Amino acid sequence: METILVLAHTETDGSLAKPVREALHAAAALHKSLAGSKLLVGLIGEDVQAAANSIAASPATKYFGVTGADFSVSRYATDAAAAEAIFKAAQATVVVAPATSRWARVLPGVAQRLGGRADTHVTGVAVADGKISVNRWYYRQRMEGVLTRTQRPWIIGVDPGSHTPCECGAGAASVEMVPVNLTEANKRTTVVGIREPKADAQTIRPDAELLFVTGAGWTKKQADGQTHVPEAEKLILGFLKQARASLGSSKSLVDLGGEGQAVLPFLSHLNQIGQTGATPRHAKGLSTCCHGEEPHTVGWRFIGERRAISLDPNCGWARGKADVLYVADAFAVVAKVNELLAAG
């Protein structure tokens, strides 16, 4: 009989992020498919009551909490101690956790301490013949594997964006507090602050509906024999601002910086999509000035509807990589789209 524990941390404001609701949705589906299983929730943070209340109508039968100022920040030693304490109090056999950056670096270590196993980057969980199986992708998202494990505890890190968030309503949850004895060594690391780009400089938006991809064409000589990099910058940023899209790029464009060529300053390798870049999940994607070669388009595996704007009617997008290819000048198209978006 499995005891499934959803293990989560709160945000600094005490709320639960979307990936927690996604993990809860996956765990609730497991619980429903496994007769006789129990579903429990464990929360870690400075204060977890508001977070527990926000999901009080979930199918979980019990809530555990580890609270206090020591648990408000992401720190391996205290997070691992808290996760271990909740796990033991819940006597769980399976842990389903959101693979946030905070949890991703802690949970495999917790599995090791508990003599269990951890699977990361899980994109699906299911039950067949009473056995739990998980899906994950291998070899830069080219092959999907399905695996089961007999080892317990089994910690399953669910990739954000791979499940729909649970619609668990709010209410009043009763949280059983779990004590954790921290030593001075556990608190040796001090978090002094968080450095992050300003909100309007943040171009990678995993929750955006649309992925807008820029290719090297934006910096190439155009029909008049000239490059138009400042204009490209204005058009791209204008589109991102109005469409609230996430910005992706081809490798060629982000590599230009290292080659000393004129570049778009807001792009970095973090924006790169493809075989040696990211494989984001968005409902729609629009590629601009990019050739759509295989090492790039392999990163579009999880993009729903795909469209591309390229001057080249024989580009990769035309060869089955896109649902719609506009053979057009992206400078002209994006300028017109921005104009229409501004007009509301």
Ligand X SMILES: Cc1cc2nc3c(=O)[nH]c(=O)nc-3n(C[C@H](O)[C@H](O)[C@H](O)COP(=O)(O)OP(=O)(O)OC[C@H]3O[C@@H](n4cnc5c(N)ncnc54)[C@H](O)[C@@H]3O)c2cc1C
Is position 314 an interface residue for ligand X (rule: CB under 6 A)? Answer: no
Beta bridge mates, 306 = 285
Measured N-to-C along each axis, helices 330-342 and 229-243 cross at an angle, to the nearest 10 degrees, of: 40
Which residue of 315, 322, 325, 337 would you call a contact of ligand X, by CB under 6 A?
Answer: 315
Is position 329 an interface residue for ligand X (rule: CB under 6 A)? Answer: yes
Residues 188-227 that bind ligand X (CB under 6 A): 215-217, 220, 222
CA–CA dist 301, 179 (Å, integer): 44
Which residue of 49, 252, 271, 338 would you call a contact of ligand X, by CB under 6 A?
Answer: 252
Which residue of 282, 291, 306, 321 would you call a contact of ligand X, by CB under 6 A?
Answer: 291
Cβ closer to ligand X: 110 or 334?
A: 334
Q: Shortest distance, CB of residue 214 to ligand X, whole angstroms?
A: 8
Q: Which of 61-69, 70-78, 120-128, 329-337 is the region at the interface with ligand X (rule: CB under 6 A)?
A: 329-337
- Is residue 168 within 8 A of residue 21, CB to CB? The reply is yes
Is position 290 an interface residue for ligand X (rule: CB under 6 A)? Answer: yes
The set of residues, in sequence order, having a beta carbon less than 8 Å from that of 17 and lying 6+ positions away, is 11, 98, 100
- Identity of the amino acid at 275: Q
- Is residue 166 within 8 A of residue 58, CB to CB? The reply is yes
Which residue of 37, 97, 293, 322 would you call a contact of ligand X, by CB under 6 A?
Answer: 293
Is position 311 an interface residue for ligand X (rule: CB under 6 A)? Answer: yes
Cβ closer to ligand X: 44 or 216?
A: 216
Helix ranges (H only) for the chain are 18-33, 49-54, 76-90, 101-104, 107-113, 229-243, 251-255, 294-297, 330-342
Is position 321 an interface residue for ligand X (rule: CB under 6 A)? Answer: no
- Identity of the amino acid at 46: E
Structure tokens at 120: 């990361």
CA–CA dist 62, 159 (Å, integer): 24
Is position 83 an interface residue for ligand X (rule: CB under 6 A)? Answer: no
Q: Which residues bind ligand X (CB under 6 A)?
A: 215-217, 220, 222, 250-253, 272-277, 289-291, 293, 295-296, 299, 309-312, 315, 329-331
